[in-house]
Amino acid sequence: MSTVLDSIVAGVLEDVKEREIPLAQLRAQLDSSPPIRDAYAALALPGMQLIAEVKRSSPSKGVLAAIGDPAALAHQYELAGAAVISVLTEGRRFAGSPADLQAVRERVKIPVLRKDFIVTEYQVVESRVLGADLILLIVAALTDAQLRDYQALAHDLGMSVLVEVHDHEELERAIAMSARAIGVNARNLKTLEINEKAFTDLLPLIPNDRIKVAESGIALREQVVAAELLGAKVILVGETLVRAGDPALAIKTLLGR
With DSSP H G I counted as helix, E B as strand and the rest as coil, what are the percentages for the chain, rounded to 5?
45, 20, 35
Mean pLDDT of 207-225: 95
Point out the residues that are catalytic.
53, 55, 115, 164, 185, 215-216
pTM for the full predicted model? 0.95
Task: Please state, in angstroms and rounded to a whole number, the distance separating the CA atoms of residues 24 and 193.
Answer: 40
Instruction: Please work out, in degrees rounded to the nearest 5, the angle formed at the alpha carbon of residue 93 by the alpha carbons of 240 and 249.
Output: 15
Query: Is 1's pLDDT higher than 80?
Result: no
pLDDT in tens, 201-213: 999 999 999 999 9
Angle between helices 121-130 and 98-107 (to 10 degrees): 40
Residues whose CB is less than 8 angstroms from the CB of residue 135 and which lie 6 or more positions away in sequence, other chains included: 113, 114, 116, 118, 124, 127, 150, 154, 159, 160, 161, 162
What pLDDT sits at residue 244? 87
To the nearest whole number, what is the mean pLDDT of the chain? 94
pLDDT in tens, 42-99: 999 999 999 999 988 887 777 788 888 999 999 999 999 999 999 999 989 898 999 9
- pLDDT computed for residue 61 by the predictor: 79
Q: What is the pLDDT of residue 198?
A: 95
Q: Hey, where are the domains in the chain?
A: 4-254
Phi first, then psi, for residue 143 (nearest 5°) are -80, 165
**Sequence-separated (6 or more) residues with CB below 8 Å from residue 88:** 53, 54, 55, 56, 94, 95, 96, 100, 115, 116, 238
Q: What is the pLDDT of residue 65?
A: 80
pLDDT of 22: 96
Average pLDDT on 184-199 reads 88
Taking residues 4-26, report their average pLDDT.
94
pLDDT at residue 257 above 90? no
Q: Nearest 5°: CA angle at 255, between 245 and 128?
A: 85
Greater pLDDT, 58 or 102? 102
Cα separation of 206 and 212, whole Å? Answer: 7
Nearest Cα residue to 159 out of 126, 185, 208: 126
CA 117/CA 121 separation, integer angstroms: 12
CATH of domain 4-254: 3.20.20.70
DSSP readout, 104-167? HHHH-SS-EEEES---SHHHHHHHHHHT-SEEEEEGGGS-HHHHHHHHHHHHHTT-EEEEEE-S
